Amino acid sequence: MTSTTDRTLRRLTMVAAPILLVASLAYLVATEASTLRIAINGIVCGTYLATGLLAWTRRPANRTGRVMVATGLLLLLDPLQDGAIPRLALVGLIATTASDVMLGYLILAFPWGTLRSGVDRAFLTVAGIAMLSANIAAFAGFDPRAAGASYDNPFLLIRDPAFADLAMSISRLTSILVLIGFLAIFAVRWARASGPARRIYSPVLLPATVLVIAIMVATILSAADAPDELQLAAGVTQALTRALIPIGFLVGLLRTRMARSAIADLVVELGDTPTPARLRDALANALGDPGLTVAYWSPEAGDYLAADGSPAVLPSEGSARAVTLLERDGQPIAAIIHDAVLLDDPGLVASVASAVRLSVENDRLQAEVEAQLGEVRESRARIVAAGDAERKRVERDLHDGAQQRLVSLTLALRLARLKLGDDADPEVRLSLEQASDEARSALSELRELARGIHPQILTEAGLGSAIESLADRSTVDVAVDLGTDQRFSPAVEAAAYFVVSEALANVAKYAEAKRALVRTEWRDDELTIEISDDGVGGAAPGADGGLRGLADRLSAIDGRLEIFSPTGGGTRLVAHIPTATPAAMPG
């Protein structure tokens, strides 16, 4: 059926159903049926028609709504059985039997809207044929006059009280057997169902069980010729329980909607990058499946891995568990392993899947950003290390080249002065002495420059000696308190050295301090360098200042710099440098 014809038919039914319901009730009024009968018929038929139309509108693809409407329409014909219009009594009987079969179909088809197992189909077919045959046979032997009624049965074929009794007994027995069959199917279905499946079955299966038992009781009471009051009570119970079935369907529908709102919560909850465990719990909660698990795709392993990293076992086709795979751009991301019954509401699983995709996508972006951050960190550490290596090379070049030449020049000038003797031209002697002084000054400046580029003492004698040498050369009185004489990686030693060097340079330039203290401490794989002075304070890391550069250099090896410099209260710089980080050991 195309969706257009389906819609047309549905709209037609929406108009026709109330009219037919009113007609059915009008018939009951006209035949002077009891008010109770009229009320019960109205409630039962109205419930089926209204619920059926609702389900039909909501889920046009699911047959449930249409079948329920048909059941309601057939039930409208039930009053015809009373024989007020004798020829139509048979129509009423057949319609009622057919509505019973349809109700059976609805219950067995729930929640899929179609019969899934061959057993169900066979049972319903056999039951339908058996009941219809038995009822028609009974009707063929039914003589209203013999039962005290005042009309004739136009279909009375066998006018024999013995046959009538037998046919009626067979009809009742058939009913009882069919009802037992239903109970057996219900029991098996319930026993086999998992938690979430039971949650879905229960709103329909429970009233259906009550209904079947009520019909059985009514049938037995009728067969036993029980008192009228008792039979009436059983009939009312049966009719009202019948009305509960569509309501059960409604509840089932509502539960799905509640599950959808649970998914809305899920999206919110997954917003802040959940751990795999929290993701699993949230999903299990949203889908009402405590046994749900999530497996993540590992590109390295080429397989889905469970939360503990072991390869996940995905359920096979047709098992009680089903798997919903999440993909992004054709690449697998994760697999949700859940109860197969959840697939009966594809919308539900799809909503959950998109919620999870969103979250996993977030996680993936987060992981990507972190990976990029890690790369940036590593490359920053490499850049600093390369810079240090370059400084070392430049210092070495200065030492091997210009410094050697200046040394040689100085010695040559001294030799020349020696060879000249004391009785030489004083002007030449003076020139030589001046040249010699110039060469030595140049050498001294070159050494200072080389030390600024790379402190050779750091390589030669380590951080402690290098700090002491810095303190010795400072114009301020610097005390040194070395808490360790440990050697560290070149990157760590260089960073620590330049912290002290820059800090002492600042003390000399800006602090107006009388005294300064350099303290080192090595504990728990962290080197702490503290430089304090009694100067004017007010130091702050500018955008491109020396302190900013120090902070950058430190963070390149996962260290950090703290600056305490209240105005007028001296300055204290504290550098923390991890000494066990692999990033701090670039070679």
Partner 1 sequence: MNTILIVDDHAGFRVQARALLEADGFVVVGEAHDGATGLAAARALRPDFVLLDIGLPDVEGFDVARELAIEGPPPLVVLTSSRDASAFGPRLTGGRMLGFLPKDEVSGAALRAMVEVA
Question: Which residues form the interface with partner 1 (CB under 8 A)?
Answer: 399, 403-404, 406-408, 410-412, 414-415, 418, 439-440, 443-444, 447, 450-451, 455-457, 460-461, 465-466, 468-469, 472-473
Nearer to partner 1, 195 or 401 (CB): 401
State the minimum distance, in angstroms, from the CB of residue 386 to partner 1.
Answer: 23
State the minimum distance, in angstroms, from the CB of residue 535 to partner 1.
Answer: 25
For residue 227, give Cα distances in angstroms to 82, 154, 166, 232: 20, 29, 22, 9
- Which residue bears the tokens 């058939």? 174
Bridge partner residues of 321 (DSSP): 339
Write phi, then psi, for 164 (nearest 5 degrees).
-60, -45
State the minimum distance, in angstroms, from the CB of residue 462 to partner 1.
Answer: 9
State the minimum distance, in angstroms, from the CB of residue 526 to partner 1.
Answer: 25
Task: Compute and round to an integer the Cα radius of gyration of the chain.
Answer: 48
Q: Two tokens at 154? A: 């136009």
Contact 289, 307 (CB under 8 A): no
Nearer to partner 1, 55 or 439 (CB): 439
CA nearest neighbour of 201 among 80, 324, 109, 267: 109
Nearer to partner 1, 31 or 456 (CB): 456
CA nearest neighbour of 532 among 565, 492, 491: 565
State the minimum distance, in angstroms, from the CB of residue 488 to partner 1.
Answer: 16
**DSSP-assigned states of every residue in 189-200:** HHHH--HHHHHH
State the minimum distance, in angstroms, from the CB of residue 558 to partner 1.
Answer: 28
Start-end of H helices in 399-455: 404-420, 426-453
Q: Residue 199, exposed/middle/buried by CB under 10 A (0-12, 13-18, 19+)?
A: middle
Nearer to partner 1, 278 or 447 (CB): 447
For residue 441, give Cα distances in angstroms to 75, 105, 438: 118, 109, 5
Nearer to partner 1, 63 or 451 (CB): 451
Nearer to partner 1, 143 or 468 (CB): 468
Q: Two tokens at 208? A: 């259906």
Nearer to partner 1, 327 or 485 (CB): 485
Q: Two tokens at 23? A: 């007609």
Bridge partner residues of 323 (DSSP): 337
State the minimum distance, in angstroms, from the CB of residue 411 to partner 1.
Answer: 4
Quick check: bond before 582 cis, omega within 30? no
State the minimum distance, in angstroms, from the CB of residue 407 to partner 1.
Answer: 5
Nearer to partner 1, 160 or 448 (CB): 448
CA distance 575 to 495: 9
State the minimum distance, in angstroms, from the CB of residue 392 to partner 1.
Answer: 13
CA distance 136 to 168: 10
**DSSP-assigned states of every residue in 261-307:** HHHHHHHHHHTT---HHHHHHHHHHHHT-TT-EEEEEETTTTEEE-T
Contact 322, 338 (CB under 8 A): yes
Nearer to partner 1, 117 or 444 (CB): 444
Nearer to partner 1, 240 or 416 (CB): 416
**DSSP-assigned states of every residue in 453-501:** H--HHHHHHHHHHHHHHHHHH-SSEEEEEES------HHHHHHHHHHHH
Nearer to partner 1, 114 or 475 (CB): 475
Nearer to partner 1, 10 or 414 (CB): 414
Contact 263, 348 (CB under 8 A): yes
State the minimum distance, in angstroms, from the CB of residue 463 to partner 1.
Answer: 11
Q: Is the dihedral of CA 222, 224, 227, 229 positive or negative?
A: negative
State the minimum distance, in angstroms, from the CB of residue 529 to partner 1.
Answer: 18
Bridge partner residues of 520 (DSSP): 482, 529
Nearer to partner 1, 85 or 411 (CB): 411
State the minimum distance, in angstroms, from the CB of residue 442 to partner 1.
Answer: 10
State the minimum distance, in angstroms, from the CB of residue 548 to partner 1.
Answer: 28
Q: Which CB contacts under 8 angstroms, 24+ apart, belong to 320-329?
A: 320/194, 321/291, 324/349, 324/352, 324/353, 326/353, 326/356, 326/357, 326/360, 328/357, 328/360, 328/361, 328/364
- Which residue bears the tokens 């009809």? 171
Nearer to partner 1, 396 or 548 (CB): 396
State the minimum distance, in angstroms, from the CB of residue 479 to partner 1.
Answer: 17
CA distance 570 to 514: 11
- Which residue bears the tokens 């359920």? 315
